[in-house]
């Protein structure tokens, strides 16, 4: 009975022994193959390396810098030092139902969402003039609180070595603080905004502003060219700070001239009557606004102002205000009144009409009067709606632009001889030129925004406070006969920063007594940027207890 068991055990042991022998044989064979392959590969590799000869290879050499033939770099070196970066701050203000214009929001320069009073289709002009920078997103404060601080970026160029700079009005519009960085100023970091600037004057009709920075040394300036000489197809360079990238240069050509985009207000009065742009395909983006458009002679022929886009980026359609218009406006803004005064005869007309209209009314060139403003020069001279104005002082006029350009350049109070057709008959009338701003205010029913600000707001812009007379009960309590009481303090303003609070009683400013609101306004009107300002504050709870609060105006 034991024999089969022993036979079975012997068979299993033989099988196991055979398997082990086979396994060891295979492993030995593989090891020999791997070792032989490694030796052969090493020998072949070594043989290939030893046979490579690179003695004929020449080292790479960096060539000396060469000046290219297009001349762009020379123009940039010439104009670049006079191009500046402008950043502004709009401090928090009490909430209102109106949305406020904003600049390029930081640090989200590519945000395409505009913040405007009107709803526009994607193809509308993205900058007339609230949308060019992307609008202050989040600026509308619907919960009744104060809106947050707004920051915006733009560009500008120096035209006078004493620090006078030209930029767009919408770059500095409503800004409480304006800072300028020269091309030679270090980039710096937070808290290093640049040099404080003040507004000399603005012209909303052309979206032009003049600002100034203080300087001890003469600054580099641009050369202004004659934009009438610029031709379609000419090369131009756009220089500025798109998306906060300062000293950026783009190139293109002049695509068109005398480009206008008429945007009539609800009352039918054109809001862009004096805007005749140079169109260019040089890349213009948010932040370029206010920078120069330069020709191949290194002269500024325009100021980059607006873009036409559906994506808030450049699509090859940019607009620049011509240099000739800039020069005319600048010369008026630096004058004693710091504002632009344009002539008007007090009429409205249709900008363009069919040639059939010309044939029916019997004229080849001229302007059909649509509306005559009551009490305007034309009304007083007997001009009526339906009359066709065909000449000015004996010179035939081409169209409405020709008429406006001639009349607006004339002095207010001067007289012009108009030739006009009525029922096909030739007539003349002597018309007295009026102030266009006042005429426009009569048409729209709105106050002239070029007039001097109301005296009650004298301290709002400079100090950030509003004041009123001290109530009789409080005056008797503290035992003073004069002074004013602070009724409101704008957050982030000069007054807020130095600690003036609502309810503060001011009795003197810079050692000059404040007896009432009139004396307060008179003192404040003399204050300017960089002045030291010290207030004498009367305690509202204890008689004859004065304190002194002061600071330096930004």
The CATH number assigned to the domain holding 275 equals 2.40.10.120
In a domain, 17, yes or no: yes
406 sits in which H/E element? helix 400-408
Find the mean pLDDT for residues 462-491: 85
Per-residue confidence (pLDDT) for residue 124, from 0 to 100:
40
Tens digit of each residue's pLDDT (9 = 90 or more) over 78-87: 999 999 999 9
pLDDT at 111: 31
- Select which of 170, 176, 203, 270 is catalytic: 170
Looking at 134-207, which runs of residues are DSSP E strands?
150-160, 164-168, 177-181, 195-203
314 located within any domain: yes
pLDDT above 90 (res 158): yes
User: Last residue of some domain: 425, 444, 463?
Assistant: 444
What is the count of structural domains for the chain?
Answer: 4
Task: Examine the domain organization and report whether 24 and 99 are in the same domain.
Answer: no
What is residue 39's predicted lDDT score, i.e. its pLDDT?
54
Count of Cβ atoms closer than 10 Å to residue 326 Cβ: 25
Q: CA geometry: angle at 257 spanning 254 and 258, to 5°?
A: 155
Q: Which residue has the higher pLDDT, 197 or 482?
A: 197
Work out the number of other CB atoms within 10 angstroms of the CB of residue 18.
10
Please give the Cα distance from 79 to 299 (Å, whole number).
Answer: 8
* Cβ burial, residue 498 (10 Å; 0-12/13-18/19+): middle
Cβ–Cβ under 8 Å, residues 90 and 150: yes
**Last-in-domain residue among 315, 333, 351:** 333
Which range scores top for mean pLDDT: 190-199, 306-315, 449-458?
A: 190-199
Domain presence at residue 149: yes
**Do the Cβ atoms of 83 and 155 come closer than 8 Å?**
yes
The residue that leads in pLDDT, 445 or 339, is 339
CATH code, 428: 2.30.42.10
Using the predicted structure, report yes or no on whether residue 113 has a pLDDT greater than 70. no
Inform me whether the pLDDT recorded for 4 exceeds 60.
no
Domain membership flag for residue 48: no
In a domain, 50, yes or no: no
Contacting residues for 253 by C-beta, under 8 A, at least 6 apart: 232, 233, 234, 235, 236, 280, 281, 282
533 and 393 in a single domain? The answer is no
The phi-psi region of residue 58 (left if phi > 0; otherwise alpha if psi is between -120 and 50; otherwise beta) is beta
Rounded CA-CA distance 345/401 in Å is: 14
Q: What percent of the chain has pLDDT over 90?
A: 33
The CA distance from 369 to 383, in Å, is 8
Q: Which of 333, 356, 390 is the last residue of a domain?
A: 333
Catalytic-residue membership of 338: no
Q: How confident is the model at residue 55 (pLDDT cuts 50, 70, 90)?
A: confident
Note the pLDDT tens digit of each residue in 167-213: 999 999 888 889 999 988 877 655 577 899 999 999 988 999 999 99
pLDDT band at 148 (very low <50, low <70, confident <90, very high): low
Are residues 505 and 468 part of one domain?
Answer: yes
Structural domain contains residue 51 = no
Banded model confidence at residue 48, pLDDT cuts 50, 70, 90: low
Each residue of 354-374: pLDDT tens digit?
Answer: 778 778 777 888 888 988 888
Do 232 and 200 belong together in one domain? yes
pLDDT tens per residue across span 61-78 = 888 876 655 688 889 999
The pair phi, psi for residue 447, each rounded to 5°, is: -65, 155
Predicted confidence at residue 101, as pLDDT, reads 33
| pLDDT of res. 246 | 84
Check whether residue 433 and residue 460 sit in a common domain.
Answer: no
Is 170 part of the annotated catalytic residue set? yes
pLDDT at 93 over 80: no
Least confident of 92-101, 142-151, 353-362: 92-101
The one catalytic residue in 115, 205, 207, 295 is 207
- Within this chain, do residues 378 and 276 fall inside the same structural domain, yes or no? no
Ranking 181-190, 224-233, 531-540 by mean pLDDT, the lowest is: 181-190
- Look over the chain and give the mean of its residue pLDDT values, rounded to a whole number: 77
Handedness of CA 370, 374, 380, 382 (dihedral sign): positive
Distance CA 243, CA 97 (A): 29
Choosing from 227, 270, 289, 328, the catalytic residue is 289
pLDDT number for residue 65: 75
Q: What pLDDT shows up at residue 183?
A: 87
Q: Which residue has the higher pLDDT, 438 or 126?
A: 438
Does residue 85 lie in a domain region? yes
Res. 408: pLDDT tops 70 = yes
Chain mean position to CA 151: 11
Structural domain contains residue 326:
yes
The CA distance from 398 to 7, in Å, is 128
How would you classify the pairing of strands 484-489 and 505-509?
Answer: antiparallel
The two beta strands, 223-224 and 208-213, are: unpaired
* DSSP string for residues in 53-102: --TTPPPP-PPPP---TT-HHHHHHHHGGGEEEEEEEE------SSPPP-
Please determine, for residue 17, whether its predicted confidence score (pLDDT) is greater than 70.
Answer: no
pLDDT over threshold 80, residue 92: no
Identify whether residues 438 and 466 lie together within a single domain: no
Q: Which residue pairs from 440-448 have beta carbons closer than 8 angstroms and sit at least 24 positions apart in sequence?
A: 440/269, 440/344, 442/346, 442/373, 442/374, 442/375, 442/376, 443/267, 443/269, 443/348, 443/371, 443/373, 444/265, 444/267, 444/269, 445/267
- Using 50, 70 and 90 to split pLDDT, how confident is the model at 479? confident
Structural domain of residue 482, as residue ranges? 455-552
Task: Identify whether residues 436 and 469 lie together within a single domain.
Answer: no
Which burial class, exposed, middle or buried, applies to 69 when counting CB atoms under 10 A from its CB (0-12, 13-18, 19+)? Answer: exposed
Residue 350: closest CA among 312, 399, 286, 307: 399
Measured CA distances, 191 to 114, 187, 195, 244 (Å): 27, 11, 11, 16
- pLDDT on residue 100: 34
Please indicate whether residue 45 or residue 145 has the higher confidence score (pLDDT): 45
Q: Name the one residue in this structure whose structure tokens are 């600000």.
A: 453
- Whether the pLDDT of residue 417 is over 60: the answer is yes
User: pLDDT value at position 25?
Assistant: 62
Does residue 476 have a pLDDT over 90? Answer: no
Question: Residues 368, 318: one domain?
Answer: no
> Does 199 lie in the same domain as 80?
yes
Quick one: average pLDDT of 309-325? 80
**129, 85, 137, 80: which is closest to 106 by C-alpha?**
137
Per-residue pLDDT band for 280 (boundaries 50, 70, 90) equals: very high
**For the ranges 143-147, 302-306, 390-394, 465-469, which has the lowest average pLDDT?**
143-147
Most confident of 156-160, 172-176, 503-507, 518-522: 156-160
Judgement on whether residues 242 and 141 belong to the same structural domain of the protein: yes
The predicted structure's pLDDT at residue 237: 94
Distance CA 5, CA 94 (A): 106
| Residue 467: CA count within 13 A, CB half-sphere | 28
Nearest alpha carbon to residue 224 among 175, 295, 274, 133: 295
Do 367 and 397 contact (CB within 8 A), yes or no? Answer: yes
Claim to verify: residue 327 and residue 349 sit in the same structural domain: no
């Amino acid at each position: 009975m034991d024999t089969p068991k022993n036979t079975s055990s012997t068979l299993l042991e033989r099988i196991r022994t055979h398997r082990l022998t086979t396994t060891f044989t295979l492993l030995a064979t593989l090891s020999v193959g791997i070792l032989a392959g490694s030796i052969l590969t090493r020998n072949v590799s070594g043989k290939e390396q030893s046979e490579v000869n690179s003695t004929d290879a020449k080292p790479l050499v960096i060539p000396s810098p060469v000046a290219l033939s297009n001349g762009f770099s020379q123009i940039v070196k010439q104009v670049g030092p006079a191009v500046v970066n402008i950043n502004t701050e709009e401090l928090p203000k009490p909430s209102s139902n109106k949305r406020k214009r904003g600049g390029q929001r930081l640090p989200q320069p590519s945000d395409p969402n505009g913040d405007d009073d009107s709803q526009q289709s994607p193809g509308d002009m993205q900058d007339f003039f609230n949308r060019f920078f992307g609008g202050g997103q989040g600026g509308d404060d619907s919960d009744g609180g104060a809106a947050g601080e707004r920051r915006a970026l733009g560009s500008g160029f120096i035209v006078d070595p004493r620090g006078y700079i030209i930029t767009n009005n919408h770059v500095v519009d409503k800004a409480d603080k304006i800072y300028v960085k020269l091309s030679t100023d270090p980039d710096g970091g937070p808290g290093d905004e640049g040099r404080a600037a003040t507004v000399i004057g603005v012209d909303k009709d052309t979206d032009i502003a003049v600002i100034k920075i203080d300087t001890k040394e003469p600054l580099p300036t641009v050369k202004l060219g004659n934009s009438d000489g610029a031709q379609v197809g000419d090369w131009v360079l756009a220089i500025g700070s798109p998306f906060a990238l300062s000293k950026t240069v783009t190139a293109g050509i002049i695509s068109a001239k005398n480009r206008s985009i008429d945007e009539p207000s609800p009352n039918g009065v054109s809001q862009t009557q004096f805007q005749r742009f140079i169109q260019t395909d040089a890349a213009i983006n948010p932040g370029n606004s206010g920078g120069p458009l330069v020709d191949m002679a290194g002269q500024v022929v325009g100021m980059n102002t607006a873009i036409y886009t559906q994506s808030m980026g450049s699509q090859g359609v940019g607009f620049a205000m011509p240099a000739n218009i800039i020069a005319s406006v600048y010369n008026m803004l630096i004058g004693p009144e710091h504002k632009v005064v344009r002539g008007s005869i007090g009429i409205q007309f249709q900008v363009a009409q069919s040639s059939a209209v010309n044939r029916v009314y019997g004229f080849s060139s001229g302007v059909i009067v649509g509306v005559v403003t009551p009490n305007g020069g034309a009304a007083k001279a007997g001009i009526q709606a339906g009359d066709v104005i065909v000449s000015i002082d004996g010179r035939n006029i081409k169209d409405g632009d020709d008429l406006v350009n001639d009349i607006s350049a004339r002095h207010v109070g001067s007289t012009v001889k108009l030739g006009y057709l009525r029922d096909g008959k030739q007539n003349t009338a002597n018309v007295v030129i009026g102030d266009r701003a006042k005429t426009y205010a009569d048409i729209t029913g709105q106050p002239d925004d070029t007039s001097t600000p109301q005296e009650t707001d004298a301290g709002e812009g400079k100090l950030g406070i509003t004041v009123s007379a001290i109530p009789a009960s409080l005056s008797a309590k503290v035992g003073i006969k004069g002074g004013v009481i602070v009724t409101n303090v704008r957050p982030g303003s000069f007054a807020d920063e130095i600690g003036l609070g609502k309810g503060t009683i001011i009795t003197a400013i810079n050692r000059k007594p404040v007896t009432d609101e009139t004396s307060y306004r008179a003192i404040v009107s003399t204050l300017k940027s960089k002045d030291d300002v010290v207030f004498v504050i009367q305690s509202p709870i204890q008689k004859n207890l004065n304190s002194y609060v002061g600071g330096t105006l930004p």
